[in-house]
Amino acid sequence: METLAMEERATHRWIDTKTGLDDLLRVLEDRRSLALDSESNSGFAYQERLCLLQINDGTEVWLLDLLALPGGNQALEPIRPMLEDPDYEIQLHGGEFDVGCLKRDYGITLAGLWDSQQAASFLGWPKTGYGAVVEEVCGVSLPKAHTRHDWSSRPVTGPELQYAISDVRYLPRVAAGLKSDVRAADLEEEVLIACAAVEKATWNGGFRPEALWSIKGVRQLAAKEKGVLMALYRWRETVARELDMPAGKTINNELLMALARSSPARPEQLKRLGVPRRVTTRWASDLLGVIAEAQRVPPELPAQPSRQPLDRQVQKRGDRLKKWRRGEADRRGVPMQAVLPVAALKHLQQWGGEDLESVPQLGAKRIRLYGATLVQLTASQP
């Protein structure tokens, strides 16, 4: 097996000017596909942003420095037509994050997307991460040391540079190999439907008050303690924004829970609980004030997510669908999502099969193969 050596240098161009982007545009206009990946500073800033966009045009790798290119959130406008053209294939691997971030940072909605991770999953491969798929298709072992790198750091050199290049260097070969396997397995339509669903991905980050209820142990708190926790949860965002750090790295959820339970009133109590010095040095009095005010006037809590049990008929319909899907997947020797994607199963469970054309991610082939069965399985039964 070939191992990617650190000193090996793939052909690439670093693009940080409008002139360089124009050069890329001229190349892409003569192509009908490209391979794409992105890197962000997720985990290193309060508001993450894309920092690097890697594009393989089939011959050369282009690295777009999104921190240096002029134009801000309009910087990618010259190549928007290719990225949003449904007839221009965009090859990605596990593309939900890239799709969501390009929508958030540049207002670009990728189209013509072909996701090699979706293909590997529908083929039933046990490992579908990019490194595992490259190793299987190309016989190349990729380094894994920079998956948590701060991509806002400059310059990007050495191992980090090669990591970024390798993320798209092998992607066209991976896509070609997987397309052949998907075609042989007669799963082309199913994979295309899954790729179309990836195109609809959105960024789901940012502050959401209702996410309070996802903190472990929150439902066991007393009413007053929940109020303190809500006040701390909002206050943490202000501190994180000022420190330009992810909120969870400013004060983690476990420490928020400890503060809500004990409601400290003195600076030394904050130290004993383990509140970081970066917080207590500047905000100890503010923190204690937030806790005291929340005890005096508890803030309003966001609505809890509904946990209503499913209607008995809906539950039985889901049980029948799941049992049939499992058996049909075993019979065909394919993963269960090839028989019926989760989105389609949930829709059929809730609404039945009277209008199969409206079922998300079902598609014409599955309707042809399973339409009558799905209608029968979802029909009301005594």
353 within some domain:
yes
Structural domain boundaries, residue 351: 312-378
Residue 349: count of CB within 10 angstroms of its CB: 21
Among 48, 51, 45, 49, which Cα is nearest to 250's?
45
Q: Are 58 and 52 in contact (CB under 8 A)?
A: no
Q: Is 43 in the same domain as 141?
A: yes
Among 57, 121, 50, 131, which Cα is nearest to 89's?
57
Q: Is 104 in the same domain as 134?
A: yes
Residue 218: count of CB within 10 angstroms of its CB: 20
207 within some domain:
no
DSSP assigned state of 211: G
pLDDT tens, position by position, 311-364: 899 999 999 999 999 999 999 999 999 999 999 999 999 999 999 999 999 999
- Alpha-carbon distance 232 to 294, whole Å? 9
- Alpha-carbon distance 286 to 340, whole Å? 53
The pLDDT of residue 309 is: 75
Residue 59 pLDDT greater than 70, yes or no: yes
pLDDT tens, position by position, 164-204: 999 999 999 999 999 999 999 999 999 999 999 999 999 98
The pLDDT of residue 10 is: 59
- Alpha-carbon distance 120 to 338, whole Å? 12
User: End of a domain among 296, 320, 349?
Assistant: 296
User: End of a domain among 261, 296, 331?
Assistant: 296
Compare 1 and 35 and report the one with higher pLDDT. 35
Q: Is 275 in the same domain as 326?
A: no
DSSP assigned state of 170: S
pLDDT tens, position by position, 79-114: 999 999 999 999 999 999 999 999 999 999 999 999
Q: How far is CA 1 from CA 10, 93, 140, 142, 175, in A?
A: 18, 22, 6, 11, 20
| CATH (domain of 318) | 1.10.150.80
Q: Is 283 in the same domain as 325?
A: no
Residue 199: count of CB within 10 angstroms of its CB: 18
Q: Is 98 in the same domain as 24?
A: yes
Q: Is 75 in the same domain as 195?
A: yes
142 within some domain:
yes
Q: Please give the angle made by the CA atoms of 298, 299 and 301, to the nearest 5 degrees.
A: 115
301 within some domain:
no
- Alpha-carbon distance 53 to 12, whole Å? 13
pLDDT tens, position by position, 194-246: 999 999 999 988 899 999 999 999 999 999 999 999 999 999 999 999 999 99
Residue 58 identity (one-letter amino acid): G
213 within some domain:
no
Average pLDDT over residues 55-74: 97
User: In total, how many domains does the chain have?
Assistant: 3
Residue 147 pLDDT greater than 80, yes or no: no
